[in-house]
A and B are shown apart, each in its own frame.
Chain A
Amino acid sequence: MSDDLKKRVKELIVRQLKLEMDPATIADDAPLFGDADGGLGLDSIDALELVLGVEKEFGIKVQDEEVGVKAFASVNALCEFVRQKAA
């Protein structure tokens, strides 16, 4: 998976959600949502923000909740989702 895309996604997350952290410290497979250890602990409002950010940054549409939950599980999942949609 392209490192460029991962970097872009991490920077998007930090920027869109105004997180005070270095994008590079986000682990590729860390769970973005919920209370899991090592995760970012984002909530549903953050989810909405992230959907908007992803749609705008990559010009894709996130269609329904199921897709969103799977696609946004981690940076890896999000990169995979973006590649599929852009293909």
Chain B
Amino acid sequence: MNSPNSSDSSPRTRVALVSGASRGIGRAIGERLAADGYHAVLTYRADASGAEAAVEAIRAAGGSGEAVKADVTSAADIAALADRLDKEREGVDVLVNNAAVLKNGLFALMPDANWNLVLDTALGGTYRMTKAVMRGMLRRRWGRIVNISSLAAFSGSVGQTNYSAAKGALVAFTKSLAAEVGAFGVTVNAVAPGFVETEMISFLTKEVREDFLKRVPVQRFGRPEDIAPFVSFLCTDGAGYLTGQTVRIDGGFVG
């Protein structure tokens, strides 16, 4: 079983920071990493009760966690969080860049604000969060960055040019960053979930759902529990030779 504590005699507990972790995939990942023994720091933008509930579940299971209000589009929020974690816990060992928003719509009619927000949250947020924790990982010569991409990065779905651009950018960013920091014991990977049953897809019509399922060999929608275990694996010592990869977890979607 993976023990995230450092292998020398110091009792330091490794820290896992998960953005957008008040619900859905982020929350499942946060809870799983806490179960793996990390001190899980779950950030949320507005859903305080969701984040608090996640932390309560973590503590009830005997794990260590905290909920932090931090908007990944805010450089100030991120700097404050990173500074505090540096002082209190010597920094961050695992970063899961999960925070994202949808602003779907046809490209020709898309307001600038919708383009900008989606890019700034998923891609800009990833940039800011990763930058804030990277020096510490390099210094300690151990780190795990997991970027949550999406099937949208590959599938060409209508109404998602902004989301697809952001999620696709994460795939390329993952490869490039992995090449830079591999020498320091830091791996960088991405996971691309398909349609996972969370609030983010709750608006889909019955028709869209049925159409989608026709193309999924596993013949069901995904669950957050389908995503978290692989992220957990990526964050283990044993996954140290796996880097620069994007793994699709989409029930085998054919499209």
- B183 proximal to A (CB < 8 A): yes
**Contact residues in B for A44 (Cβ distance below 8 Å):** 180
Contact count band on B: under 10
- B209 proximal to A (CB < 8 A): no
Interface residues of A in 37-85 (CB under 8 A from B): 44-45, 48, 52, 55-56
Contact count band on A: under 10
| Complexed CA–CA distance, A45 and B185 (Å) | 13
How would you classify the secondary structure of chain B's contact residues: helix, strand, loop or mixed? helix
**Contact residues in A for B181 (Cβ distance below 8 Å):** 48
Contact with A along B134-152 (1 / 0, CB 8 A): 0100110000000000000
**Contact residues in A for B184 (Cβ distance below 8 Å):** 48
B135 touching A52 by the CB < 8 A rule? yes
**Contact residues in A for B183 (Cβ distance below 8 Å):** 45
Nearest residue (CB) in B for A56 is: B139
Q: Which residues of B contact A (CB under 8 A)?
A: 135, 138-139, 180-181, 183-184
12 A-B residue pairs with CB within 8 Å: A44-B180, A45-B180, A45-B183, A48-B138, A48-B180, A48-B181, A48-B184, A52-B135, A52-B138, A52-B139, A55-B135, A56-B139
